[in-house]
Structure 1
């Protein structure tokens, strides 16, 4: 019996949008639920900056300024839950809750 979990299949199967970016804000993972929530396909979103889902007035703000996380003690996962506005591909505004996590 193989007990190994396929992380990609798990991320695609969960009902929550999963959007992962690198520290520069470049989107590196975008699941099916994110497609439904934000209107962009994974092909459209991957490699783009998080600005595609960030209202204009918040663009340019680093996650470090939005989050209580800092660059110190990155030897373990640290996270913060945030409520912020987001924007759908068609331009309508969404109110989302998300988690920012630093891991090294």
Structure 2
């Protein structure tokens, strides 16, 4: 399949629209349009929720069973999701990613 087929009339506009509409979630077009959110499937979101709930349950158990004189435990941070304020705040810290550092020093 070539985009030139559409230009030459061998591929209809309707067929091209159907093909674009049904691209896989990890396609370059969807990554460009939706960013990191395109890489997260429903399963990934559900697993992140499970991790958050388990961390919260462990925190509750440890808080209830700790010594009364000890300092309170820090509440667990949620797993950053694409588009969340926590994820964007981490990106805005100004700290370059490991890949960027590797490219800089090469």
Scaled to the shorter chain, the TM-score interval is under 0.3
Q: Larger strand proportion, structure 1 or 2? A: 1
Q: Larger helix proportion, structure 1 or 2? A: 2
Rg (Cα) greater in structure: 2
